[in-house]
Structure 1
Amino acid sequence: MKIYGISGLGADKRVFEFLTLDYEFIPINWITPHKNEPIKEYSKRISTVINTHNDFCLIGVSFGGLIATEIHQLLNPKATILVSSIHTKNELRPMYRWFGKTKLIQLIPSFLFDPPRFIANYVFGAKNTKLLNDILDDTDVTFAKWAVTELINWKHTTPSEYVLKINGTNDKLIPPKGNTKMELIENGEHFMIVDRADEISNLINDHIQYAIKTNFR
């Protein structure tokens, strides 16, 4: 069994370094989106690195959870696990969806998608602020603008019984919401994939073991 991981907006495989998983883990690197590329087409392109000849699982973190959901519909993963993320557009904050309808995001210069570090540290609730800051320093702001645009305009509405969400009760960016099967990390914040890695690792391992034993896919 292989687990393919898709990191958050602008992030990379460093967010997975603190996980302890029982199966082979393969991070998927971001690729550059084409101009005005829809998230479905982007997800199809990025999914070509996945070997579908053997059983596999997906992990998507934050914005990576949207990509994982899109790939979930295209391929046939044994299980899909979303961390600090959403599975349908209805699980997104209404304010975000409203902003998406206004189309005002197109007027925002790309450089503004590089937030001041003290604000980012607060919003993400990061304890490992050095890692978060390093990731933000390496973020492509053009990619970040594309990703936020796709996030607030996402159209997916149909949940899958084969998807598990792991959300933090104190997540300021994406609070727990919706009817998707969900495990809660008490006092977990948006950066908990790093700060609460042990607990999240246990939940991921248990869910994949359950998927294998029950053969529910």
Structure 2
Amino acid sequence: MNGLLNIFRRKKQKQELPKRKIYCIPGFGADDKIFTNLSIDNAELIFINWLKPLPKESYKNYVLRMAEKIQEPAPVIIGVSFGGMVALEIAKTRPVKQVILVSSIKNTDELPGKWKLIGRLRLNHIFPIQRIQANERFFAMANKRLGALTKEEQDFANHYRRIIDKEYMIWALNQILNWRNAEVPANVVHIHGDADLIFPIKPLKPTHIIHGGTHMMIMNRAAEISAIINKVVKDVK
């Protein structure tokens, strides 16, 4: 009888394990909705959506403000695209148990060469970015590069393009083009698609490759990404 009670107690304790908090940072201009299709076992996803940059705010101070929502002393962070770059910057400011990058890059060497050139020549300050961003014909080209394949995905991406805060857009694009990072923590997992046209896979060294995955795979390949994250998080102590 006592043996059966002990088994019941252990089973109950296992079922009542507290959910692990996982902090999620979306990609450029997006919000928590891009994580909708993820299915992470026994986890509470806490979303850190983009803040509006303050006048003359440094990138470091912006990163610290983004990190204020993190309560754990050593968190697990998932960062998508630009969100992954910010996750790595957060990891410079505090201990982090695990950084999981999706469709992102780890250091300056992985930033596409033409992007570095645009940043170095400050061409992003010359091009009428706001007018280009508002051009509907631009949407079709941008969706192709993003990997938004279905009408639902295209409508989703177009929605963010229409509502994006212009000050944030100009600021964030400048941070991406001029990102300088050489530090890559040992506890980084990098999930990348080999059909990503935003950050082409050729110069990258991801730990996991999603074959046929585009830059939008956080939504349309979420089951495969979830399986990888579940395995990774399960092994994190």
Q: Same fold by TM-score, threshold 0.5 exceeded?
A: yes
Residue equivalent to 1:20: 39
Q: For residues 158 and 181 of structure 1, what CA distance do their matches in structure 2 show?
A: 15
Q: Give 2:118's match in structure 1, choosing from 92, 96, 99.
A: 99
User: Cα RMSD between the aligned structures?
Assistant: 1.7
Tell me if 1:185 matches 2:223. no
Provide the residue aligned with 1:45 in structure 2.
Answer: 65
Distance 1:13 1:124, change over 3 A: same
Question: More displaced, 82-91 or 134-143?
Answer: 134-143
**Paired amino acid for 1:43:** V
Q: 2:194 matched to 1:175? A: no
Which residue number in structure 1 is paired with residue 81 of structure 2? 62
TM-score, length of structure 1 as denominator length:
0.91
CA-CA distance at 1:36 after TM superposition: 4.0
* Higher Cα radius of gyration: 2
Tell me the residue number matched to 1:215: none
TM-score norm. by structure 2 comes to 0.83
SS in 2 for 1:74: coil
Q: 1:124 aligns with which of 137, 146, 164?
A: 146
What amino acid does structure 1 have at the position aligned with 2:50?
W
Aligned counterpart for 2:188 among listed residues 163, 174, 179? 163
Contact 1:39-1:67 within 8 A present in 2 as well = no
Q: Which runs of 5+ in 1 are unaligned?
A: 213-217
Greater relative CO, 1 or 2 (CA 8 Å, sep 6+) = 1
Residues in 1 aligned to 2:35 and 2:209: alpha-carbon distance in whole angstroms: 19
1:177 Cα deviation from its structure 2 partner: 4.9
The verdict on how the C-alpha distance between 1:36 and 1:175 changes in structure 2, with shifts beyond 3 A counting, is farther
**Cα distance in 2 for residues equivalent to 1:177 and 1:47:** 31
Which of 91, 108, 114 lines up with 2:127 in the alignment?
A: 108
Deviations 1:98-135, CA, capped at 9 Å, x for gaps: 11111121223341344622112101011322222222
Alignment size in residue pairs: 211
Q: Does 1:33 align with 2:53?
A: yes
What letter matches 1:153 in structure 2?
N
Which deviates further from its counterpart, 135-144 or 151-160? 135-144
Q: Please give the alpha-carbon distance, in whole angstroms, between the structure 2 residues aligned to 1:143 and 1:17.
A: 23
